Structure 1
């Protein structure tokens, strides 16, 4: 089968059977793949190769997978899919809060793995194409309150010009909300905007991303100005939004 992308996926898992299974499944689906057992090997690979997606086991031996993801996220917006075992809900919440764009619990269904990989890479590809199509044009931006969300460069800037780092999932969710101001959106609608495919999802994914966005957008996250909770329904973007070119 032909590769769907020239840019490989990096798999980091210290369980050889799982690591080899994921690599085989991805390659059979047409995705080039590099698989390593630990963070040191992952960092070495990333020094020489650009990857389209990282799949990281939460509980790596020697170096915690979450810490590895956090370090990577500090310098990169590459999509991260976190693999979690039969741990507590808090493990999954923390992984989403700090670094990951999505998670998948072990043991996983192969079809669900491919569905999540497809969704993350499809969104990433669409965003890259959107950016490339605007290289010689004016930037497309959404302005609200004290912020400007640049849809072309995928950056959030304050009115003072300070850039605020957003993860892949944070940016995508903020874009969905800001494009529908004053409209109440359910968690299901927001998850559809985030993933673009129907699949079993973690119930608190949207809540965790909203919390992360509030911590970055709001002066007082407990009394939000921009993203309001509509109890029993979902969320709404309460500020007027102007479209800039």
Structure 2
């Protein structure tokens, strides 16, 4: 497994955007030692210059920077279908986390963060994005790990989702975990606390509002492929996944 991760890392280029040169050097050196290829930028302006010349597999983006904040840069990256983003913030409040997730960040870490935790988060996000979308199509025979609903096909082992036309739908790690929680507990009302436990584990910090944000993002992605009515809101109780699921 370590050999596979190392081979994957060697093929990966990461951009670190932070106004603190010490943090940039620390992160870059640590990731370089683990086989990644890294570049650094001191602010979003330098980030754009680098993006114009080089493609990146992932961006580590600080929130608080003097000339332009990271959230503004994240909005632009999302508009331009940029690479996955892990946000960093020295503030680390619930509001910051929620806003970062709502704008499309794939993950969020409070500063100062342990470089090993950052490495683990990076690998998790990249594993999600590296799955071959063609591995599961709507017309393919049912494979181990497949969950079928309303013409959709979700494979929990391959971590893939295909719409009724067989086209892949790319979800962040959090969105995939949330959808899996719904699909594995269909046609029953799930409270926000239950969704947090199912999707993130019992040891996660509890942010009720963050679940609402994730559900909203998930609905938008599913709705763009005709899945507007898959997740229903049950007033004052929570959410329900409406379709029948075939295992």
TM-score by length of 2: 0.70
- 1:189 and 2:198 correspond: yes
Report how far residue 110 of structure 1 moved.
2.2
The structure showing larger relative contact order (alpha-carbon pairs under 8 Å, at least 6 residues apart) is 1
For structure 1, the residue ranges without an aligned partner over 5 or more in a row are 193-197, 219-223
Alignment match, 1:226: 231
Q: Is the 8 A contact 1:55 1:80 kept in 2?
A: yes
Alignment match, 1:100: 105
Report how far residue 211 of structure 1 moved.
3.1
- 1:25 and 2:30 correspond: yes
Report how far residue 201 of structure 1 moved.
5.2
Q: Deviations over 1:191-219 (max 9, x none)?
A: 26xxxxx986564544421133346667x
Query: What number of residue pairs does the alignment pair up?
Result: 223
1:25-104 equivalence runs, <5 A: 25-76=30-81, 78-104=83-109
Report how far residue 15 of structure 1 moved.
0.9
- Seen in structure 2, the aligned counterparts of structure 1 residues 18 and 37 have a Cα distance that, compared at 3 Å, is same
Aligned Cα root-mean-square deviation (Å): 4.0
TM-score by length of 1: 0.70
- 1:114 and 2:123 correspond: no
Report the secondary structure of 2:10's partner residue: coil
Report how far residue 105 of structure 1 moved.
0.2
Select the residue among 223, 232, 237 that pairs with 2:241.
Answer: 237
Q: Is the 8 A contact 2:149 2:243 kept in 1?
A: no
- Seen in structure 2, the aligned counterparts of structure 1 residues 9 and 83 have a Cα distance that, compared at 3 Å, is same
Q: Deviations over 1:105-145 (max 9, x none)?
A: 011122221221121122222x23xx25469x85999553x
